[in-house]
Amino acid sequence: MPQAAGAEMAGRPMAAFAALAAPAMPVSCRRKARPDIMMIGLRSVGEGQGGVENHVDRLAGELDRMGLRVEIVTRSPYQPGRHERGRNITVRSLWAPRVVWAEALVHSLLAVAYAAWRRPAIVHIHAIGPSIVAPLARLVGLVVVMTHHGEDYRREKWGAAARAVLRLGEAAGARFSQGRIVISPSLRASLDDRFRRPFAYIPNGVCVAGPVPGCEALRPLGLEPGRYILSVGRLVPEKRQLDLIEALAQIADPAIRLVLVGGADHDSPYCRQVQARAAADPRVVLAGLQSGRPLAELYSHAGVFALPSSHEGLSIALLEAMAYGNRVVASAIAANRNLGLPEACYFPCGDVPALAEALRAALEADRQDRLAGGADSGRSPRQDWGRIVDAFRWDEVAARTAGLYRAVSREGGGPSGKEDCREEGR
């Protein structure tokens, strides 16, 4: 079955890619159709708080608008059942154990078995942990693309055994995928050198938004426009929310609040520590998971957005903050420096006094802007990040990804990695 089906599928997507604007099929037909692209490796889509989840959500939407049939495989503890989105997107949940060390591996194995039955034109694996199944996907005759979202083995939450498995997944994805995407230019150089395989740099995207009026989401949290620091991300050690809480203690203004948006997928000592420290300081606001209009309002009225992370691939939250015109303060790690922000936006990761000083400066600059814009309006002229943000439009990201899909579909690829997808993914 693998060889015959694989030969059939190797040429099959070209018709779809040649007619990206084809009209949508009726639902009754769509359910029986093989997907052009199957996305695996994520917990949920459309309502998740992770970077990979947001990435797949936006990418699938753009591919749908191009006329491609997309099936997204999610994990049942986070998003049960089956539903359809857009014109040609199906979300299918498969069982996964709610065990940190086994969740991604078991679910990825089940996803490959499901893909072997569904026979998509391309299986797109997201993140290096799930990429450990790339050899198995090739063995059953599937065409594989992987996106390297970051060196997850550098996350502080993992022990030695988990880090070894993540490194193995990185190597498996690099060696056995026909198409390889990386979201960071600095990481691309490292991967090209280590694995002697070409990686296409295709970054995360951002919806060019701009601030929204209204403060309904601020009132229940006791917030005033311009008088709070905003941070958006999971409560995990590498996001370093504790650094922000310590930095807040060094800001004398009692009216300034720290708003932590996000939650934890699993209970952990770090999560409990953040909750305890927040409970001890009335200026810290745990806002939980936010999305849609409430999140847009929190971005729009923040005095400064902070990202003190010790590890990132390419932060969608940081790009979103810039799209809303926020002043930003970010740790000076390579992934953040890739954006080329002014030097005043960066501070040495883990240096709490430097973080506090950068936050104070950004808050003061925002205050001055608001005074210049009119004290009665409560609004400030927003930071203009247009030159940077324009390089991360989702329509362009999707077009480049579709170009790489065309390349691997046309060439067929192979485990030798000799095919070069740089031109399509550039």
Structural contact between residues 96 and 106, judged by C-beta atoms closer than 8 angstroms = yes
Least confident of 135-149, 177-191, 372-386: 372-386
Asked if the model's pLDDT at residue 248 lies above 90, the reply is yes
Place of tokens 């210049």: 372
Which residue pairs from 198-201 have beta carbons closer than 8 angstroms and sit at least 24 positions apart in sequence?
198/417, 198/419, 198/420, 198/421, 198/422, 199/148, 199/174, 200/400, 200/404, 200/421, 200/422, 200/424, 200/425, 200/426, 201/425, 201/426
Q: Which of 257-271, 354-368, 396-410 has the lowest mean pLDDT?
A: 257-271
Q: pLDDT digits over 290-302, tens only?
A: 988 999 999 999 9
Q: What are 108-143's pLDDT values in tens digits?
A: 999 999 999 999 999 999 999 999 999 999 999 999
Mean pLDDT of 324-336: 95
Q: Which of 24-38, 104-118, 268-282, 343-357 has the lowest mean pLDDT?
A: 24-38
> What average pLDDT score do residues 371-377 get?
60
Q: What is the mean pLDDT of residues 13-31?
A: 43
Going from the N-terminus, what domains does the chain have, and what CATH number goes with each?
2-205+393-425 (3.40.50.2000), 219-390 (3.40.50.2000)
Question: Which pair of tokens denotes residue 49?
Answer: 């708080």
Tens-place pLDDT, residues 405-423: 999 987 654 433 333 444 4
Is 404's pLDDT higher than 60?
Answer: yes
The pTM of the full predicted model, rounded to 2 decimals, is 0.81
Question: Mean pLDDT in the chain?
Answer: 86
